[in-house]
Structure 1
C-alpha cells in the first residue's frame, strides 16, 4: 500500500508531502491545479522516465519519494531481494527515491541503496496499477490474464486443479525429454554397440589369460637360447659331478679322511656332517643339471608359435590399455556397456508407455482446466458487463480469447503447456459493431479507466495488485452514472487501496480520504499544495465548489451535504465492514491522521 508521496522541484511543485490511507483516496481540485503532476510523480517512482525539462524553474534537481507498506512474502519484496536491494525481512516499509538533475542524469534508490531504473521498474511492476500510464497497468500485460482467470475460477492455489495439472505435466515433460534423448542417441548407440561387439569378438577370439604374456616371454627366451643353456648345464654337471676330480669326488674324499680322524677327536664331528651334507647336495645338483641338459631343446616350431602368440597379445595390449591385464579389464567394461546399450531399447519402450500414461493424465486434467476456464470466462464477461452497464457503457462487451500455449509439447496430438492447453487474453469491444480488441489497444483516458474499473471490480478478490490509481475515470459522465462510478470505486476500495483523480462531486463524496490539490502564489511564484480535508465542513465546502464553482451558494452546500449523506448511507446499506489497512488500521483514522501531515507549498 502507498502511504506517503513526497515531491520537490517538479514542475509547479516546490515541495509537498501527501499521506495516503487504505480505502478510497480522492484527489480533487481545479483544472491545472497539479493533480496530474502527482500522478506523474508516482509514475516516476515506479520506474518511468524522468526528463530534465520536468524540473521546476530554478531548481537544481527534482526529487520524488514514495513510501510503501508491504506485508511479509509480498512478491515485490522477493523481486527487490533478488535484485540485491535491501528489504525488510518480515515485511514493512519500502522507500523508493528518484532524483533528476539539470544535466539529464537521474538516480534511483530503494531503501537508500542505489539501483538502476530498470531494476526499479521490474521490482515494482504489479505493485500499483496507474491507469494514466499504460505501462503501469498490470491488466494490460497479457501474460497475467491467465493467472487472473484461474484465480477468478478458483482453480489455483495449493492442491487445486492447476497444481494437479502442473504436477502431471512435469511427469509428462520429464518422460518426453528422456524419450527424446534416447531417440536422438539411438543411432549413436547402435554404432557404439557395433564397435563394442567387434572389439569384444577380437578379444574373445584371442582368449588371453592373466599373466600369459609374461609366461610366454620367458618361454621365448629359453627356446631362443636352448643350445647355450644346454652347454652351460653340461659343463656345470661335469664340474660338479660327472668328470674325474669333480667337486663331488673331492668332497667325498675329504669326508672319508675326516671320518677316521673323528675316531680320535669327536670335536671334528660337526665339520664331517657339513661335508657329508655338501656331498649329497652336489650329487643332487649334478643329477638336476643332467636332466635339464637332456630336457632343454631348441624347437623352432614352438618358438614360432610363442613369438606369434606374444605379438597377438602385445597388439591387444597396445589397443586396450598397455597390458593383457588392462585389455581384460577393458573387455569387462565393454561387456557392461554393451549390455546397457542393448537394454536402452527396453528403456525406450518403458518410457513410451510412461509418456503415454502421463499424457493421458495431463490431457484429462487439462480438459477439466479448460472447461473451468471457459466457464469462468463467461462468468467474468457477464459480471464485467453488469458493472459497465452502470457506468454508461452497457453496450461494451468483454470476452476472453484462448490461444495455443507457448512452448507447448505434443501429448498424443494435444498441445499442452505448463499452464494447460491454452493461454488467455482478455478482449474488449467498447462499441457495437467493433471487433473485440486487446486491452492495450482500447482508447485511453476515461473510457479505459472505466473499463479497467469494471474489470477490477470483478477481479477484486483475485487481482494481486495492491493499489489502483484512476485518472479521468469520470470523463464524459455525470449524474446517476457518476454516482455509480463512486459506488463502484468504494466497493473496489474494500479489497484494495484506490487513488482516484476526479472532477465529480458524486465520486468524491465516497472518499475515505479526501485530498484537495490547489495552486498558491507566494512571493511571485506559483506552487502546488495538497490539503487533506478531514473535517466534514471542509469536505462539504469542496463538494459545493465542485458543484457550483468559485461562488458557494447555500443550495450547493446543501446539495454537497446530501451527497455525503447519500454516500454514507450507501456504504452502510452495503453491509460491508469498514476497510482496514495492511496492519488492521481502520480507514477512517487515515483521514484524521492525514490532517496532521506536515505540508509545504512554498
Structure 2
C-alpha cells in the first residue's frame, strides 16, 4: 500500500504531503487543476521515464518521497536483496531528487540507487491503467502472462523441459560438429598415430639420448690417446724399463754397501704407483669402448624424435602426450556413430517431454481463456456493454520456456462486427470499460500492487459511471486503488477523497491537494454534477450519491 507521498518544488507544486488510505482513493478537480501532476511526480519517484522539465520554476531542485508498506513476503524484498539492500523494516521509502541541471538521483531507504532499480521496484509496487495503457493490459506481449496468472498456471515443469530440450539439442549439435570435423582429418589422424606408435616416444627420452650421444662422441675422440698412454705405461714401456732397472740395481746392491737401498725402496714405491696408474687407465679405456653402430642408432632415434616434434610444432617430451590425444580423437570417430545415436535419442525424449508439457499448458490456457471470457462478459453487462464480445485467443506462437502458445485479447463492440485488438476497436469510453472489466476479472486477490486508474471513466456517465465506480470499489476490496476521475458517481464511492485545485498568487501558479471531510465532499461532488454554479438540486444529488455509496469516508486533515 502507498502510505504517503511528499512533493517538494515539482512542476506547479510548492510543498505537498499526502497520506493515502486503504481501499479506494479518489482524486477530483477541474480540468487543468493538476491531477496529472500527481501521477507525474509518482512516476518520477518510481523511476518511470517521463517529462524532463519537472523542477518548479525558480527552485534549485525538486524532490519526491513515496512511502510504501512492505509486509513480509512482499516481492519487493527479493528485488532489494538483489540490489544489495537488506532491510527488516516494514516500510519502503523511495526518494528521488531532480536537480536544476536535469540530473536525477534516487534513494531507497537512504541508499543511493539507479533509476533502473526504482523501475524494477515499481513493477511490483504499482500498476497504472488508463486509455493510453501501453505498460499493461493493452500490451499484447503481456497477455499470456495475464492469462497464466488468471489460470494459476505453474510453467515451472515446462521451463525445465525446455531447458532439457535446449541442452540436448546443444549437445547433439556440438557432437555432430565435432564428429564432422574429426572425420575431415581422419586420414591425417590415422597416419599421425601410426607414425607416433611406430616411434613410441617416451617422456624424457630426448635428453637421455642426447647425453648418451655426446658421451659416445667424446669417447671416440680420446680413446686412441688413452690407448697409447696405456701402452707407454705397460711392459713395453715404463713398467718394463723400471723392472729392468730394479733387477740391475738389486744385482749391484750387495756390492754397493747400502748406497742403493734408498733408491731401490723409492723404485719399489714407484712401481706400485705405476701399477695403480696402469690399472686406472686400463679401466678408463675399457669404459671408453663403444659400438659405432650404437652411436649411429642413438643419433638416428634422437634425430627422428626431434624431426617428429618439429612436424607437430611441439617439444619432443610432449610427443607421448600427443599420441594419447590423437588416439582419443580417433576413438571418438570410431565411437561417434553410437554416441550420436544416443544423443539423438536423448533429444527425441526431451522433445517429447517438452511437447507434453507444452500441450498441458495449452490445455490449461484454453480452459482458462473460456473462463476469462465469461468473467469479462459478466462484468461488461453492468457497464452497459452487454452486446460487446470479449475473446481470449490462444494460438500457436514461437516455442519457448513457457510453451508454444500466443495469447491475444480481442473485442467486438457489436454483434457481427469483426474482432480486433482492444486499442484498435474500442472507442475511448468503451476502452475504459473494457480495461476495467478485464482488470476486475484478472486482479482478484492481488493485494501486493497499488492500482492507479487515470480517468478510466472518461466518456461514461449515469448508471454506467456508477457501475464503473462499483467495479473500482470491488477492486479496492483486495488492493489499494487510486483513481483520477471526473465522475461524481465514482467519487462518491471513494474511501478517501482528495481535491486538486489550482491557484495564482503573486503571478505564480500553484496546485494544491487537500483531503476532504464529508461536508467538503458534498460540495465537491455537487460541483462535479452542476459545474461552477452549485445548485441546491446538485447538493441534494451529491448527498444522495454519498448516502448510497457502499461506505462513507471519514474525515482526514492535511
Give the TM-score normalised by structure 1: 0.74
Structure 1 residues 64 and 232, CA gap change in structure 2 (3 angstroms): closer
1:385 to 374, 377, 381: 377
Which residue does the alignment assign to 1:492?
A: 475
Counterpart of 2:107 in structure 1 is 110
Give the direction of change, closer, same or farther, for the CA distance of 1:289–1:166 in structure 2 (3 Å limit). closer
**Alpha-carbon distance in structure 2 between the residues aligned to 1:508 and 1:208:** 93
Which residue number corresponds to residue 129 of structure 2?
A: 131
Check conservation: 1:44, 1:64, Cα contact below 8 A: no
Cα offsets for 1:440-473 (capped at 9, x unmatched): 5455743332222111111113768712222333
Structure 2: distance between partners of 1:545 and 1:244: 145
In the alignment, the residues of structure 2 paired with residue 199 and residue 453 of structure 1 have an alpha-carbon distance, to the nearest angstrom, of: 75
Whether 1:480 and 2:463 are equivalent positions in the alignment is yes
Question: Which residue of structure 1 aligns with residue 153 of structure 2?
Answer: 155
* 1:543 CA drift (Å): 3.7
The 1:316/1:97 distance shift into structure 2, 3 A limit, reads closer
Q: Secondary structure at the match of 1:139?
A: coil
2:488 maps to which residue? 505
- Report the counterpart of residue 539 of structure 1 in structure 2: 521
3-state SS of the aligned residue for 2:234? Answer: helix
Question: 1:543/1:328 Cα in 2 relative to 1: closer, same or farther (>3 Å)?
Answer: closer
Q: Give the corresponding residue for 2:233.
A: 240
Q: CA deviation at 1:69?
A: 0.2
Going from structure 1 to structure 2, the CA distance change for 1:528 and 1:274 (only over 3 Å counts) comes to: same
Q: Which of 343, 348, 358 does residue 350 from structure 2 map onto?
A: 358
The corresponding residue for 2:262 is none
Determine if the alignment matches structure 1 residue 29 to structure 2 residue 29.
yes
Aligned equivalents of 1:309, 1:154: Cα separation in 2: 76
| Distance in structure 1 (CA, Å) of the matches to 2:450 and 2:285 | 113
RMSD: 4.6
Match of 2:404 in 1: 421
Judged with a 3 Å threshold, the aligned counterparts in structure 2 of structure 1 residues 274 and 463 are, in CA distance, closer, same or farther, namely: farther
Structure 1 pair 9–273 and aligned structure 2 pair: CA distance change class (3 A): same
CA contact (8 A) 1:223 1:303 kept: no
State whether residues 320 and 326 of structure 1, in contact with CA within 8 Å, keep that contact through their aligned partners in structure 2.
no
Shift of the alpha carbon at 1:363?
1.1
User: Shift of residue 313 of structure 1?
Assistant: 3.8
Shift of 1:78: 5.7
Q: In the alignment, which residue of structure 2 is the partner of 1:579?
A: none
Maintained 8 Å contact 1:447/1:473: no
Q: For 1:271 and 1:16, how far apart are their aligned partners in 2?
A: 127
Q: Distance in 2 between matches of 1:383 and 1:88?
A: 40
SS in 1 for 2:127: strand
Unaligned runs of 5+ in 2: 259-264
TM-score, structure 2 length as denominator? 0.79
| Pair 1:172 & 2:165 matched | yes
* Counterparts in 2 of 1:456 and 1:272: CA distance versus 1, 3 Å: farther
Structure 1 residue 80: Cα displacement: 7.0
1:370 alignment partner in structure 2? 362
Equivalent residue number for residue 221 of structure 1 = 217
The CA distance in 2 between the partners of 1:497 and 1:13, in whole Å, is 24
Distance across 2 between alignment mates of 1:176 and 1:276: 91
